[in-house]
A and B are shown apart, each in its own frame.
Chain A
Amino acid sequence: MSDAAPARRAPSKAVRLRAVWYRHWKVYSKFIVANATPAVLEPTFFLLAVGFGLGRYIHREFNGLEYDAYMAPALLAMTSMYTAAFEASYGTFIRLRYQKAYEGMLATPLTRHDIFTGELLWCGSKGLLFSSIVALVLLAFGHLRTPWAVLVPAIGFLNSIVFAGISYLVTSWVKNINHFQFYFTIGLTPLGLLSGLVFPVRELPYGLEYAAYATPLFHTIETFRLVVSGPAHTSVAWAWACPLVLVTMAIVLGALGVRRMKGRLKA
């Protein structure tokens, strides 16, 4: 230990965000194989089941594609949605309430904004990683139909930011960890169905199709359709606007979520 204490300067915002991000990566990468294996296996089994099982009983086209090819982009969206949603709900809540991990971080140059923004970026990175893994599976099944598919990781990143932001809003509000079950079962699962996961939204009854257009996941799935299947196979003619909506939502919801969590940590 040096005797004269040098006058330390606060690390820059970028260094602080990177340090938070790195903390999550360090914890996560300890079990990277166990953590990432389901990301490979789940879509594989799903595509096998649909391609060789269910698909054989479905004699029609969806957006001009076979059923498994129709579902492929949605798998990317679901993967990146769930990985971020879990991390920013159960994960964040456990760190906040049980592990008190943020309290320790607060004694360092990190601000509340750094803590949750860094974590949000980590959620985005998880989405990037997971959607890349699923994209490789899709590639093996021949479902990547355009070179624009190189954009899949970026879209996965954005979608994870969106859902981390939404999950932050939920986490900042729930008192009890069990309440997240409502979020997942009556929030995210129906959202998947509503957003064109299993059939095109224009086939939804009672004008629900317009409700679908208001959901973030719809825009993500359409964006994935654009780059994975091509513009000819989107669900709506205006799908080109969906990437713009996605970017906007990522910025707005991410910022709102961080803001709410900052308030939550103050108490």
Chain B
Amino acid sequence: MKRYAALTAVDSVNLRIPRGTCYALLGPNGAGKTTLSKMIAAVLPRDGGQMEVLGFDPWIEQSEVKARLGVVMQSEVFDEDLDVRRNLEIYGGFFGLRGAAFQKKIQELLKFVQLEGRDDDAVQALSGGMRRRLMIARALLNDPELLVLDEPTTGLDPQVRHAMWGTLRQLKQRGLTILLTTHYMEEAAQLADRVGILFKGKLIAEDAPRNLISEHLPPWVLEFDASGHEETLVALGAETLAERHGDRAFVFHRDEAALRRWVGEKAFGAAVVRSTSLEDVFLKLTGRTLDE
């Protein structure tokens, strides 16, 4: 649990991440993702509750936990007074890393994140995507057992995001345990073995991405422009799960054909029939879209 004055930012969250798996925390702005990640990463103290990270209490044995963690924070925190390579050297120094093997490691990691040859550049001279990649490299300097990534792909263009996913998949294959927070349903679906939905500091649902969908919603959804179709929506609601969020109407059904038939019968505007996604689950559970 974590309180900021009267606000309880993270409240009775109960989660377990088995070694070697990837867990994604989904949640809208202000859900408490960053706060929870920082508590796990032994950066913030907690105000109550139990927590064990790699066998240690992260607040009581801060240094032990942090020595085994790789952290990519949501806000970029580089040492602006140092260039790319010095940033990695000094950061590694905080882990007690130095010497020739460590220098070689830096070289390998720069290559791994495709930043080789940028050693002497100022960090400020890198693009946003490059800086994110540098943060990944920095988080891997100490061969961590657990990676904590707070919105690692927010603000990246789709191409870079996909490349980042590839990188994270590689890391997972090497046996790293990963906790990542994200706004992107697709990211969670692509990378995570388990997904938790965090909303107003509470974990309101948790399961494998596929199960999370099937648990909460039928597999198909018809989405259309709601205005002018209020009555139809009510009528369909009697038959199956139908919801309205803002201007859009969502009609869920386990039978795709039924939905397609309705599209043929009624003159819906901008209608699509698609399989239900984590986004829909999120909308159903919280009544809000992720970027609201």
Q: Which residues of A contact B (CB under 8 A)?
A: 1-12, 15-16, 19-20, 22-23, 26-27, 99-101, 103-111, 266
Set B45, B66, B109, B143: member contacting A5, Cβ < 8 A: B143
B174's contact among A3, A7, A12, A99, by CB below 8 Å, is which? A3
Contacts of B78 in A (CB 8 A): 104
B residues within 8 A CB of A11? 63, 67, 94-96
Interface size counted on chain B using CB atoms at 8 A? 38
CB distance from A11 to the nearest CB of B (A): 3
Chain B hits for A12, CB < 8 A? 96
Closest 6 CB pairs of A and B: A11-B96, A104-B77, A108-B94, A10-B63, A107-B71, A19-B93
Decide if B145 is an interface residue (CB 8 Å cutoff). yes
Query: Is A103 touching B45 in the complex (CB atoms < 8 A)?
Result: no
Q: CA A103 – CA B38 in complex, angstroms?
A: 11
Contact A109 B143 (CB under 8 A): no
> Does B108 touch A at the CB level, under 8 Å?
yes
Query: How far does the alpha carbon of A5 sit from the alpha carbon of B41 in the complex, in Å?
Result: 18
Interface residues of B in 231-284 (CB under 8 A from A): none
Closest A residue, CB atoms, query B44: A266
Contacts of A4 on B, CB cut-off 8 Å? 175
Contacting pair B66 A109 (CB below 8 A): yes
Q: Which residue of A lies closest to B177 (CB)?
A: A5
| B residues in contact with A8, CB < 8 Å | 67-68, 95, 142-145
Task: Identify 17 residue pairs between A and B in the complex whose beta-carbon atoms are under 8 Å apart, listed by A's number.
Answer: A1-B108, A2-B143, A5-B144, A5-B174, A8-B95, A8-B144, A9-B67, A16-B63, A16-B94, A101-B79, A103-B75, A104-B78, A105-B94, A107-B69, A107-B77, A108-B95, A109-B96
CB-based nearest A residue for B138: A104
- Given A3-B174, A5-B144: A107 touches B66 (CB 8 Å cut-off): yes
Chain A residue with Cβ nearest B89: A26
* Chain B, range 69-87, C-beta contacts under 8 Å to A: 69, 71, 73, 75, 77-82, 86
Distance to closest chain A CB from B114 (angstroms) = 14
Instruction: Give B170's nearest chain A residue, CB to CB.
Output: A1
Q: Which residues of B contact A2 (CB under 8 A)?
A: 143
* Distance in angstroms between the alpha carbons of A2 and B143 in the assembled complex: 8
Residues of chain B within 8 A (CB-CB) of A99 are 79-81
Whether A100 pairs with B93 at a CB distance below 8 angstroms is: no
| Complex Cα gap A103–B44 (Å) | 11
Q: B81 is contacted by which of A16, A27, A111 (Cβ under 8 Å)?
A: A27
Of A3, A19, A104, A107, chain B has the most CB atoms within 10 Å of the CB of A107
Nearest A residue to B69 by beta-carbon distance?
A107
Q: Shortest Cβ distance from B100 into chain A, in angstroms?
A: 15
Partner of A109, one of B63, B90, B176: B63
Taken together as a complex, chains A and B put the C-alpha atoms of A260 and B79 apart, in Å, by 23
Are A20 and B94 touching (Cβ within 8 A)?
A: yes
- Which residues on the A side are within 8 Å of B140 (C-beta)? 1
Given contacts A101-B79, A107-B41, A111-B62, contact A23 B67 (CB under 8 A): no
Q: B169 within 8 Å of A by Cβ? A: no
Assess whether B86 is in contact with A101, with CB atoms less than 8 Å apart.
Answer: no
